[in-house]
Amino acid sequence: MFIQRRLYHLSHIDLDGYSCQLLTSYIFQNRKFYNANYGKEVLFRIDEIFEDIEKLERGEKVFLLITDLNLTIKEAEYIDSKVKQSPYNIHLQLLDHHITGAEVAEEFSWYYMNTDKSATKITFEFIQKNFPFPKESDKIAKFVEAVNAFDIWLQDSEHFEYGKVMMRLIGSARELARTMFAEEDTYYKLELLKGAMEIYNDESIEKKHIYLDDQIHYLKKRFFRGNREDDTIDNLMTNYIVELLEKRKEELTIRYKGYKGVLTYMIGSISVIGNAFLTRNSDYCFFLDVSNKGNISLRANGDVDVAVIAQEIGNGGGHSNASGGRVKGMREFYRYGDVKKFIENLLIEKEYTTDLLLPQSESN
């Protein structure tokens, strides 16, 4: 059966894109989700998908699904070529609604476009025609109407206001760094959408869009709390992220002049998260976060003077336990390993071209 294929699903990073993935999550047990914005990231994710496909046994069948992303002709030709050259049995399908993809849709049979519907509604109808849908189909259909009404701006629809609040729910869900925690970030957003679907199908609630607006904080907090004791959302989120970092800390470890640190990418909230990590992992001396613009933020717990590190690697400075700067040559990366390679090369260069770094206790 087609449903037994392993799903690799690439989608956009907005309400419509994530809603498409929510729908396929009900159908495919063997699945992996990828997300991309427009531009270079699209083909980067495609290459990433094919890297993952190549890890499979040769006999496995694959369903490569792309939703809510319109491709350029060059992007489509590249993907089509990759599929045809692959030794794997890959079924390729794109479902989209952007008019800018019209020319491409005429060139490739796997490129389906319908400008009258959102990608979520197109995906829903595609699933209904090709797969046995779950018992929740009525609830899902109502959710789909809300996404569709907002995404194609059906302002007179009874579903429009609810879709608008769901857009804010997803748009404000920036607590997890997408490049660092891709799988967790997508799972987080899908769980938020499931919560929104539950509310929209609760007949005891009258003004559902207002109720959802009030519940955004609760839905986020429920996710980060999990089985933990109740706390503020900031503390729950910090514990969740620190646990993710601890699971990967060997991969995230960097060293500078003998001092052991951890490197993150666009993680944000570094004062809280950085200090929490360092407190729980006393063998680490500093915490370094870098943005796609090259801005760096450093935190320490007294083992090293990070103002000196910031000055040496980023022409910055600050306090001995909290500092910042900006590194040259930084660009946007779509995979953490590439960020680490860039920063490690910088650290090696600076290690041999700057003065020796003194511990904070000796420099005071």
Beta strands in 293-359 (DSSP E): 295-300, 317-318, 322-326
Question: DSSP string spanning 148-166?
Answer: HHHHTT-TTSTTHHHHHHH
Q: For 325-337, how does the pLDDT look when each residue is reduced to its tens digit (9 = 90+)?
A: 999 999 999 999 9
The rounded distance, in Å, linking the Cα atoms of 250 and 262 is: 9
Which pLDDT score, from 0 to 100, does residue 327 have? 95
Who contacts 104 (Cβ-Cβ below 8 Å, separation ≥6)?
A: 70, 71, 72, 73, 76, 111
Map out the domains of the chain with their CATH numbers: 2-225 (3.90.1640), 249-363 (3.10.310)
The rounded distance, in Å, linking the Cα atoms of 22 and 198 is: 13
**Half-sphere exposure at residue 1, Cβ-oriented, CA atoms within 13 angstroms:** 7
Per-residue tokens: 311 = 């000055």
Residues of the chain with pLDDT > 70, as a percent, come to: 96
Per-residue tokens: 158 = 């009874």
Which pLDDT score, from 0 to 100, does residue 319 have? 94
Res 270 pLDDT > 80: yes
Which pLDDT score, from 0 to 100, does residue 314 have? 93
Which pLDDT score, from 0 to 100, does residue 364 have? 42
φ, ψ for residue 261, nearest 5 deg: -135, 175
Taking the model in full, what pTM does it have? 0.94
Place of tokens 């919560």: 195
Res 316 pLDDT > 90: yes
Place of tokens 């490049």: 179
The rounded distance, in Å, linking the Cα atoms of 242 and 273 is: 7
Q: For 239-273, give one letter per residue: b (16+ CB within 10 A) or e.
A: bbbbebbeeeeeebebebbebebbbbbbbbebebb
